[in-house]
Structure 1
Amino acid sequence: MDTLSSAPGSWLEAPAHQQWLASEGLRLLGFAKASKLPEGFGNLDERGQLPADAQAETMNTARMTHSFAMAHIQGLPGYAELVDHGVRSLAGPLRDALHGGWFASAEARDGNTGKAAYLHAFVALAASSAVVAQRPGAQALLNDAIHIIDTYFWSEEEGALRESFARDWSNEEAYRGANSNMHGTEAFLALADVTGDLRWLNRAQRIVERVIHQHAAANDYLVVEHFDRDWQPLREYNHDNPADGFRPYGTTPGHGFEWARLLLHLEEARVQAGLLTPGWLATDAQKLFDQNCLHGWNIDGAPGIVYTLDWDNRAVVRHRLHWTHCEASAAASALIQRTGQAQYETWYRCFWEFCEQHFIDRCDGSWHHELDPQNRPSADIWAGKPDLYHAWQAVLIPRLPLAPSMATALAQTSGSLLM
């Protein structure tokens, strides 16, 4: 594989840009510290404060633990205790001590006792990063997460993750989701590095082959999100709830960018491991990126990437979500590294200019979580500023190689990584 370091004159090689990314990362991390709750981490409001009714959630706790672990690995003081708090929370009140696995919120106080693959993928990712950070309790948490994934979620027959179960692992949901399998792919890349077990790379490839090389490719490389248990597309899924935060109707350009990046990480990880690596991984990544730029960016007369499209590629939910643009810039940076082509440099700069102008909040801190169709701060889908994970990774990925996975790469490069 002929991997190029960057396009000529790339921002990825510019010391000032590298310093800007590092400074923005420090700003994001400092803001996120306030999300700590006794039982994990919660959602912050627009000004960076915990609302009176804030509660610890597994998604935020896992994402924060992963993010703070990567800060600690780089040698930033003040994050070790936050990683430890996250590990304790995931091993304690967020975990189901009776049946195993993880609730969505501490002790299932939100009334949801189900077990979702999406959340368990993030627990595995958090645990793997905490292991790389050499934090106490992390290995036991990782062993637990791997056991749950192996026992309940991974389907060897399907080559993908099952979606969800009742608390006691009965009543498997008759649904398969691209989103949970995407984050499963992300977690599996990290698990391969931390455990040295190549089955995780083989599992990741099987997921990608089904969701992207089979289904997305047949849909002009716009990701089909929803399937029945037999992996038949459910095109009308959530038609009456199109702006759902996790399972929106139609296609989601942000996921197209996220998948594009993951395909390149997987390709490089398999090459480094000496595994047979199909050429379509890079080709599909480029097609995903190109198609989602074509149909997602500036399609309603205003700059920015819309949240969702219908099956005729018309905008359905025109809000611009911050995570979508984080993933777009990260995918562009990965494609710059992989191909050296100038078009990806152009897009990379375009996305960061948009984020600086519209998403980055220099007044109250962090990033606006979403914008309305006129690119004004909005809270229609997601209120407040609950998420460090996407923006923090967006400022790290351009400074790291495509493989190994992020925490492991930081452990190998932190001595030379510009801070």
Structure 2
Amino acid sequence: MDSDTHRAWLDEEGRRLTSFAAAAADPGGGFGWLTADGGLDRDRPTQTWITARMTHVFSLAHLRGEPGAGALADHGLAALRGPLRDHEHGGWFSSADPAATEKAGYEHAFVVLAAASATAAARPGAADLLAEALDVVGTRFWEPREGRCLESWDRTWTEPEPYRGANSNMHMVEAFIAAGDVTGDPAWRQRALSIAERVIHQAAAGNNWRLVEHFDTSWRPLLDYNADAPDHPFRPYGTTVGHWLEWSRLLLHLEAGAADAPAWLLADATTLFDLAVRHGWRADGADGFVYTLDWSDRPVVRPRMHWVVAEAILTAAALHRRTGEARFEEWYRTWWDYAARHLLDRRSGSWHHELDPENRPSASVWSGKPDVYHAYQAVLLPQLPPAPAAAAALRDAG
């Protein structure tokens, strides 16, 4: 895992990903949705989450010395300061579609992440954007009494959505870690730990470690949520195996950056990883992670998503670094072999975003290739320490 040859391969794959992603830069602003062959899908409006993720990726690439990446990060920042921002009421729209007036925590988490990485990369205007984004999140989304974040609001911040989600809170954890490490303000890591303790150490542990994704306004689990829409791309029914892995990794990042980390962070991270492997990998007899499981660990949506394998790679690397156990490196190698065999698209670029249960490219949940965020982190983070966050680590390394 730490060989020079492997690191060179990771670096080459990272450059291949950013080369593909550069085509998403829309002359009209922000980053658009890329099709399977790398063209802009003009039928889809510019999405805030895609623009923010791409800005994050290109900020990291700039910090790594990749020519042209800084200008692409600036392109994303311009959209986040411009058409994607609500200049009247504050905050960020979910997309450039005039009808998309919702203010969602998921998108705001990625605005914070993008602004934090761009600030570490010393991009113009990024520090002001980060300060504004943190103010909005701290004022509108963070609930001190609950120790977690609200899901979404209407445009004027009048009515919060009567729903609470683990997915948006998970990405708030990622964003808060990055913001705390870039700004030096420990309050953001403390908030990240609070979210993790409640969503994982309490709710998931209380559900036999089957991660609960959906809650009501009192944070009571909604186990039948979207049972009639089980393949929803953001709020699927049941439990999402990839999130078990992603949470596992984030717990390790929290532990590594804490002066007096609670012991449950490593224990819970290991439990989530082991259960994801046991119940999600080859759950239907074929290689790959199924998308979702029901509450009896039976596959519900069987297509394989690229981001789940990326998170599996990252989590295996983090656990191997933390524990030294050989089994984690074995899984790391297994999943890179799987990605190389099935996901890396050497003809059209990037990674296939979805495979069917026979590991053939498909598009039942995700069409095209709108995102390199997961794949790019899969090639970068195993080469960095678990703390501080990637952008801060690259900045501090000079």
Q: Please state if 1:362 is matched with 2:346.
A: yes
TM-score, normalised to structure 1, is 0.94
Q: Deviations over 1:5-53 (max 9, x none)?
A: xxxxxx2x21111111111000000000000112200111111011232
**Please, which runs of 5 or more residues in structure 2 have no aligned partner?**
none
Q: CA deviation at 1:219?
A: 2.4
Among 302, 310, 313, which residue is 1:326 paired with?
310
What residue identity is the alignment partner of 2:82? Answer: G
Q: Which residue of the partner structure matches residue 141 of structure 2?
A: 153
Q: Please state if 1:16 is matched with 2:1.
A: no
Q: Which residue of the partner structure matches residue 100 of structure 1?
A: 90
Q: Which residue of the partner structure matches residue 33 of structure 1?
A: 22
Q: Which residue of the partner structure matches residue 295 of structure 2?
A: 311
What is the DSSP-based 3-state SS (H/G/I as helix, E as strand, rest coil) of the residue aligned with 1:26? helix
2: distance between equivalents of 1:53 and 1:228? Answer: 34
Q: Please state if 1:47 is matched with 2:31.
A: no
2: distance between equivalents of 1:402 and 1:220? Answer: 27
Q: Which residue of the partner structure matches residue 248 of structure 2?
A: 260
Q: Which residue of the partner structure matches residue 388 of structure 2?
A: 404
2: distance between equivalents of 1:344 and 1:312? Answer: 26
Q: Deviations over 1:122-146 (max 9, x none)?
A: 0000000110010111011111101
2: distance between equivalents of 1:268 and 1:120? Answer: 25
Q: Deviations over 1:97-151 (max 9, x none)?
A: 1110000112x33x22110001000000000011001011101111110110111
2: distance between equivalents of 1:220 and 1:402? Answer: 27
Q: Which residue of the partner structure matches residue 3 of structure 1?
A: none
What is the DSSP-based 3-state SS (H/G/I as helix, E as strand, rest coil) of the residue aligned with 1:238? coil
What residue identity is the alignment partner of 1:73? Answer: L
1: distance between equivalents of 2:249 and 2:58? Answer: 22
What is the DSSP-based 3-state SS (H/G/I as helix, E as strand, rest coil) of the residue aligned with 1:41? coil
Q: Which residue of the partner structure matches residue 144 of structure 1?
A: 132
Q: Is the 8 A contact 2:141 2:151 kept in 1?
A: yes
What is the DSSP-based 3-state SS (H/G/I as helix, E as strand, rest coil) of the residue aligned with 1:200? helix
Q: CA deviation at 1:412?
A: 2.6
Equivalent pairs, count: 397
2: distance between equivalents of 1:222 and 1:336? Answer: 23
What residue identity is the alignment partner of 1:52? Answer: R
2: distance between equivalents of 1:364 and 1:39? Answer: 24
Q: Please state if 1:173 is matched with 2:149.
A: no
Which runs of structure 2 are paired with 1:192-207 in the superposition (5 Å)?
192-207=180-195
1: distance between equivalents of 2:95 and 2:239? Answer: 28
**Please, which runs of 5 or more residues in structure 1 have no aligned partner?**
1-10, 415-419
TM-score, normalised to structure 2, is 0.98
What residue identity is the alignment partner of 1:105? Answer: S
Q: Is the 8 A contact 2:115 2:127 kept in 1?
A: yes
1: distance between equivalents of 2:246 and 2:278? Answer: 16
2: distance between equivalents of 1:380 and 1:32? Answer: 22
Q: Is the 8 A contact 1:39 1:94 kept in 2?
A: no
Among 38, 54, 58, which residue is 1:64 paired with?
54
Among 337, 351, 356, which residue is 2:321 paired with?
337
Q: Which residue of the partner structure matches residue 246 of structure 1?
A: 234
Q: Is the 8 A contact 2:164 2:215 kept in 1?
A: yes
1: distance between equivalents of 2:386 and 2:108? Answer: 24
Among 69, 78, 85, which residue is 1:88 paired with?
78
Q: Which residue of the partner structure matches residue 336 of structure 2?
A: 352
Q: Is the 8 A contact 2:182 2:391 kept in 1?
A: no
What residue identity is the alignment partner of 2:354? Answer: E
| Percentage of pairs with the same residue | 55
Q: Which residue of the partner structure matches residue 379 of structure 2?
A: 395
Quick check: 256-265 or 78-87, which moved more? 78-87
Q: Is the 8 A contact 2:32 2:41 kept in 1?
A: no
Q: Please state if 1:124 is matched with 2:94.
A: no
Q: CA deviation at 1:280?
A: 0.5
Q: CA deviation at 1:54?
A: 4.0
Which runs of structure 2 are paired with 1:198-237 in the superposition (5 Å)?
198-237=186-225
Q: Deviations over 1:177-200 (max 9, x none)?
A: 000000000000011111111111
Q: Please state if 1:191 is matched with 2:175.
A: no
2: distance between equivalents of 1:76 and 1:224? Answer: 39
Q: Is the 8 A contact 1:73 1:410 kept in 2?
A: yes
Q: Is the 8 A contact 1:123 1:145 kept in 2?
A: yes
Q: Is the 8 A contact 2:352 2:369 kept in 1?
A: yes
- Call closer, same or farther: CA 1:320–1:34 in 2, change over 3 Å: same
What residue identity is the alignment partner of 2:182? Answer: V
2: distance between equivalents of 1:200 and 1:338? Answer: 23
